[in-house]
Chains A and B, each alone.
Chain A
């Protein structure tokens, strides 16, 4: 009988504690006493699917099988069985196995995994992983149907991880552009959320990010990490004339070369040299 594996958002911390406590055991790579040749794959699958086996042995079986997926023809004979085993693991009581299975499946755009994750986001009582992790797994497929849920979660959630992952999903959603721009400009938002917004806006609308970067660099009241993010974006992706043609910007960057922290000085010097200011 399947154990109750439903997870709530609060399970994330517990899952992490569990992982930490098992780290040393997992790192030892226990011997699985596998046979030679392709029979080894079958044996590893049996260990992986057996809930009576120890977690380290099941983790090692999963590690070996996933490593073997990189050898195409040899693994083809068991590939379908491996996918089926991963789909079962999605409901396993062990959080590490559940997460790794969801990760492997999501990276292959597996329909079952995506549907399960979406169901958990719509109905938290059915969630197998935290909403932040669910969004992270769904972010591998822009067509997984997670974008509207991501927008809702970003607005409603207080969980930093959820909002950060929602921004990543929103980065492929043109309907989220305005929300991302607003967040980037909002000083009440945490710096890391604003920085992720910068990356998301860069993906959606690079020109808008450059416009913001100029404002951020000129604004002496912005936190240093935000100014550094703006300068880095400018240094890497702006065209030279946009910087050299802005007298106020040139002056500000010139000031930064001699004032401020070492990081800001290095950035200002780098941008001066690269763009020949």
Chain B
């Protein structure tokens, strides 16, 4: 007999990526020879491949799951459902092989390989993960003529009101980072957007082999030093080539401006309210510090200003970390469900358009009629072969339940290494 195992309920190889979230899978008999009766009992095991990682199996998208799984599979080719989720992350593709065997038999009747693809702290990436990421970024940028130009051209002054200063700040940037990540995954599905944990030292990020080395307390005019083999040396996201960035702090330590994670997480108090938590965006007085804005101005160069920030690939590492902090807070406080008032900031009269739960978000909605900006670059949000959320024209409300905690179909297809399901 033979079986076919599908990850994310898809026969496609590009769908064989999982996160910490429960992933729907199915198995069906493709060759019934040797099956006695109407069904076969199949045991599913896992083996770590070169990329490593591990998963758990379950009958339903709940509980802790188990390292192996047995289920009955109809002889007639009808699929049987099961679920898996990642437990430890892979470093390369493929990371884990699932093998199906008929109970009591040693010979496999079907296999499938997958990767537990997780967003990680950039300082923990292996050299291989780092090199694949920057090669993909460079290819996507494609001498300034690629789709990256749409990203750099979206995060500008004219579009700022869609993304900043209001409740949509966190959902909008979650979609923005995800859009870029999916574009990168269309080039190399093994990459995930890493984050710059700016309240901790991250010296390995600012090296010639990664995002480049600037001049300590330089004026923001240094074209960062990149190794001869680093493809980012051909980076061009503004009129001039090169990445310009000088640190305003010694990168051997943490950036001094941003709040620590522990302090930033308390900003939701009292009441664990989103309305309070979103104060991570910009300095809070009289304390002078915040989590997001202070990270931007930790460097001099394009990253320190709204009109140019997204020209620097560091922008996406920074915002991935801001998004991770939101994810940590959501997990701590149980704020994934938008029907829970404290999970968002719904007010009467409504917030500016684009900042209410039911509003679609620019630029993915393509709306260029006032009060929206008169341009919308890049089209709809990139789709994923693994998950269907948040859809091509996401609403604010589509960007909360990113691991499908409230509803499995809300899964946006990413997880953070330090934020469990």
Instruction: Give me the interface of A with B, judged by CB distance under 8 Å.
Output: 15-16, 19-20, 22-23, 26-29, 31-37, 40, 60, 63-64, 66-75, 95-96, 99-100, 103-104, 107-109, 129, 132-133, 136-137, 139-142, 164-165, 168-169, 171-172, 195-196, 198-200, 202-203, 206, 224-225, 228-229, 231-233, 235-237, 263, 266-267
Q: Which A residues touch B228, using CB under 8 A?
A: 195, 224-225, 228-229, 232, 263
Provide the bound-state CA to CA distance between A238 and B43, in Å: 47
Provide the bound-state CA to CA distance between A15 and B221, in Å: 13
- Selected from A27, A31, A74, A203, the residue in CB contact (under 8 A) with B143 is A203
Is B219 a contact partner of A133 (Cβ separation < 8 A)? yes
Number of A-B contacts (CB under 8 A): 202
Q: Which B residues touch A75, using CB under 8 A?
A: 165, 282
Contacts A29-B289, A70-B281, A103-B301 supplied; 12 other A-B pairs, CB < 8 Å: A22-B217, A71-B293, A74-B165, A104-B305, A107-B302, A109-B307, A137-B221, A198-B233, A198-B234, A199-B233, A229-B233, A237-B142
Q: Which B residues touch A169, using CB under 8 A?
A: 240
Instruction: Give me the interface of B with A, judged by CB distance under 8 Å.
Output: 135, 138-139, 142-145, 157, 160-161, 164-166, 215-221, 223, 227-231, 233-236, 238-242, 244, 248-250, 256-257, 281-283, 285-286, 288-290, 292-294, 296-297, 300-302, 304-308
Is A72 a contact partner of B288 (Cβ separation < 8 A)? no
Is B288 a contact partner of A29 (Cβ separation < 8 A)? yes
Q: Given A31-B288, A199-B236: A63 and B297 within 8 A (CB)?
A: yes
Is B294 a contact partner of A63 (Cβ separation < 8 A)? yes
Chosen A-B contacts, 10 in total, with CB atoms closer than 8 Å, are A29-B257, A29-B288, A63-B248, A66-B304, A67-B294, A67-B297, A69-B306, A73-B161, A139-B240, A235-B231
Q: Which A residues touch B166, using CB under 8 A?
A: 72-73
The B interface is mostly helix, strand or loop, or mixed, namely loop
Is B285 a contact partner of A40 (Cβ separation < 8 A)? yes
What is the CB-to-nearest-CB distance from A77 to chain B, in angstroms, rounded to a whole number? 12
Q: Given A67-B293, A71-B164, A72-B166: A103 and B300 within 8 A (CB)?
A: yes
Q: Which A residues touch B250, using CB under 8 A?
A: 23, 27
Smallest CB gap from A135: residue in B: B221
Is A202 a contact partner of B236 (Cβ separation < 8 A)? yes
Is B143 a contact partner of A232 (Cβ separation < 8 A)? no
Provide the bound-state CA to CA distance between A168 and B239, in Å: 8
What is the CB-to-nearest-CB distance from B414 to chain A, in angstroms, rounded to a whole number? 23
The A interface is mostly helix, strand or loop, or mixed, namely helix
Provide the bound-state CA to CA distance between A132 and B304, in Å: 20
Q: Which B residues touch A263, using CB under 8 A?
A: 227-229
Provide the bound-state CA to CA distance between A43 and B114, in Å: 56
Provide the bound-state CA to CA distance between A228 and B228, in Å: 6
Smallest CB gap from B162: residue in A: A72
Q: Given A68-B282, A72-B165, A232-B233: A107 and B308 within 8 A (CB)?
A: yes
Q: Which A residues touch B234, using CB under 8 A?
A: 198-199, 202, 232-233, 236-237
Q: Which A residues touch B297, using CB under 8 A?
A: 63, 66-67
